[in-house]
Every structure is written in C-alpha cells, then in structure tokens.
Structure 1
Amino acid sequence: MKPILADSFYHIYNRGINGESIFKEEKNYSYFLRKYAVFIPFVADTYAYCLMGNHFHLLVKTKSEEEIQKFYRERQNDDEGEKRKTSFETKSSLKDTSWIISNAFSSLFKSYSISINKEYKRTGALFERPFRRKLITSDRYLSQVIYYIHANPQDHGFCKDFTDYPHSSFHAHLSSKQTKLARKEVLSWFGSPEDYKQFHSLNQNINDLIIEFD
C-alpha cells in the first residue's frame, strides 16, 4: 500500500471484515461521525461521505505537511493531546507525515471497533485492513467522485433513491446549517447549488470509478 501524501485528494473506503455489518443500528452512524470528528479534522478536510450498512466512502483532502506536523507536535504537549494520545498509537521512531495521516484513520477505526465490540459483545477485527484509498490526481474527477459516493447506497440496494438516503453528505451540501464539510469548495466545483442538484439528477458515467472489493 502506497504512503498517503500530504495536500492531496483521496477517495478513502473500506468495509466490514468478510462483508460484515459495521453499522448495526441507527445510532451507530452518528456515533461513527462523532468519532470521526475527534480523529480526522487534524489531518484532513472532508468533502463528502456516505456510510452504509457494511461499508463506507469518504472524499478527503489531506492537510499540508506543515499543518500535520504542527498538529502532531502540539498533540504531544497539550492537555487534549494527552487525552488523544491514549487513542492514537504512538511510535516515536515513525513521525513522518504519511504515518501521522494513516495513524489518524487507523485509530478512528480501532476506537470505533472497540466500542462496537463492547456494545454488541463481539470480538476480533471489525474492518478489513488496511483501509483502502485511491489518490485523485485530476480535478475533473472530483465532481464524479462526489456523485459516485452519494449514489452508492442506491447502487448497492440500500435505498431506492440516493437523494433520500440519510447517511451521506448529499443534503449537507445544500443546507444552510453549520457543517464541518468543505461545503463551499464542493459547490464551487459544480457552479451553484442548483447545478449541484442537476448534476446529481443525471445518470453520470462513473464506470471508471466503480470500486470492487477484492
């Protein structure tokens, strides 16, 4: 698996081990997002997401190397950092930016898995490892990746119409409510909220983006 680069767009995705459900009931979706807000904003900005019963998709842009290294140094010293340090794996000999990013995501999945195992009296891994990621090197694919992520629950039979699906960022991009998503940037890729809705109303050609789990 190639190292994750700083200041880069990634499509990050994964599923439950052997296709097992990772969201057992409704409350698990919001719990995952709360965990996500603890671990990920320090290393990446989130542009889109979709959580489904047995897998998830994210579109993120990793922060600059300077920002990530600054976060890592501060995490070693401040009080909040002391709390997070118990959740982040710490390897003093491995402090390169790629490791810090990967460790943040891995720690998210580990922390969530521990909670789910305790709640549902299960043991062992919950997610397949390593988590999957695809570097996006062309800006023209960003809007297509957004569509792919939002349309995924319909494609996999979790709903009849993905615009009605409650566990994705589709509606958050159109809302006026405060959000931690990079909403302005996303809408700028489409032109306007109306263009965003129009793009999502069309059956986009996303064959090149289809993800097959091994």
Structure 2
Amino acid sequence: MQTFQSLEYGNYYHIYNRGINDENLFKETRNHEHFLNLYSKHIEPIAETYAWCLLKNHFHLLVRIKTFEEIMLHQQDYEIKKIIPPHQSFGNLFNAYTKSINKSFNRHGSLFERPFKRKLIDNETYLQTLIKYIHYNPVNHGFCEHPIQYPWSSYQSCTSNKPTKLQRTKILSFFGDLENFKDCHKQSECFITLESYLEI
C-alpha cells in the first residue's frame, strides 16, 4: 500500500490527482472557475502558488506551504478562524468541489482518487522542470500546441503584467527573467522520467 508524506510548513510540493476511474473533473467552463474560487478560499491562506494546470480528468499544482508564522501573520487578511494541518486544507478544497459537482450533475460518491498525491520538491532544478512540465501538460495531451494557448493554467499569468496572486516574480527569477522563461517554454521535451517518478 502506497503511503504519502505529510505536508510540512515551509516546503515546496507538487500536488496532483485525477478523477476516480478517470472521470472528468471539469465538465464545463464554470467548473474550472468554481475550482479556482474554492482554491482561493481554502489554499491561498496557507500556501503560495508557483504553477497550476486544470485538465479534463486531472490537475497539477505547485505550491509552497507557508510557515506557521506566515499563516498567523496574515490570518486577518484571509479571516482564518482556526489553523488546521495543510493537508486538511486541501482535503476541504476537494470535498467542497466534489459536493458542488455532485449537486450540479446529480451524481454521488467520491470524485477524486484518494489520497491526493504529493511530492516534495527539494531543489531548484526539480522545481524549474516541474513548472515547465505543468505548463506543458495541455500540449502533451493534445489540447494545444503551446502553453500560452491553454486558458486553464498559470502560464498566461506568468507572462502577463496583469495583477495575480501567483508568485510571478519568484517564478521568473528561477528562469533568470521573463525572456528566458519564454525561451524555456518554446520547445516541448520528454518528461517520461519525471512521469515515471510521479507514477502518472
């Protein structure tokens, strides 16, 4: 039986999962929007976001769990009433989304595979590779030819000047600057080794 590590304060993680029995998680545009709204409510108070992508039957998130002190410092901004373990915040997100999908589509039971998958990111090279991997997911699945064409990922926010809660400045610094970020995303690459590690 596979075991999953707990989410530790201050660490970076790749959080990902798929629909149970490969069921589609996002059936309509409003589903993507609702998931992101719930994400803002449940995850932004406890984590910084570095990359995300929502596909039809699975998703990828790259986050840094804030330190306990950071969460306490900003709790008034998010009206946090009680500090709970980080994994529970993600669980609350997935449960709330499941309830909304079940109600909208007259279905019952679990929507996501359990437990949700998570991998610790322990070096900058791995983090860089994951950012590109997450942005290239729609390309690799045949939804578009370049990440900028896909609306449900963080790529457009990374290359835009529009306000964002994404950690855009830090993300671009991992690649040197915006131009290097774009250059690194010009060509697709083989992620077989990474996917084997992630057991995708």
| Structure 2 counterpart of 1:37 | 40
Contact 2:13–2:121 (CA under 8 A) maintained in structure 1: yes
| Structure 1 counterpart of 2:107 | 122
- Quote the offset at 1:208 in angstroms: 3.0
Q: How many residues of Structure 1 are paired with residues of Structure 2 in the alignment?
A: 195
* Larger-gyration structure (1/2): 1
Q: Percent identity?
A: 46
- Quote the offset at 1:67 in angstroms: 2.8
| Structure 2 counterpart of 1:89 | none
**Partner deviation per Cα, 1:159-214 (whole Å, 9 max, x = no partner):** 3433311110011001111001000000011111111110001234533321433x
Letter aligned with residue 153 of structure 1: P
SS in 1 for 2:14: strand
**5+ long unaligned stretches in structure 1:** 86-94
Letter aligned with residue 182 of structure 1: Q
SS in 1 for 2:63: strand
- Taking a change above 3 Å as real, the CA distance of residues 162 and 34 of structure 1, as seen in their structure-2 partners, is same
1:169 aligns with 2:169: no
**Partner deviation per Cα, 1:50-92 (whole Å, 9 max, x = no partner):** 0000000011001013234x379x69xx99446xx7xxxxxxx
1:212 aligns with 2:196: no
1:182 aligns with 2:185: no
Residues of 2 paired with 1:108 and 1:144: CA distance? Answer: 26
**Bigger CA drift: 158-167 or 188-197?**
158-167
Residues of 1 paired with 2:50 and 2:175: CA distance? Answer: 13
TM-score (norm 2): 0.89
Residues of 2 paired with 1:150 and 1:62: CA distance? Answer: 20
- RMSD of aligned C-alpha atoms? 2.2
Residues of 2 paired with 1:22 and 1:159: CA distance? Answer: 19
Letter aligned with residue 32 of structure 2: Y
1:103 aligns with 2:103: no
Residues of 2 paired with 1:157 and 1:147: CA distance? Answer: 16
SS in 1 for 2:37: helix
Contact 1:52–1:158 (CA under 8 A) maintained in structure 2: no
**5+ long unaligned stretches in structure 2:** none
TM-score (norm 1): 0.84
Contact 2:136–2:188 (CA under 8 A) maintained in structure 1: no
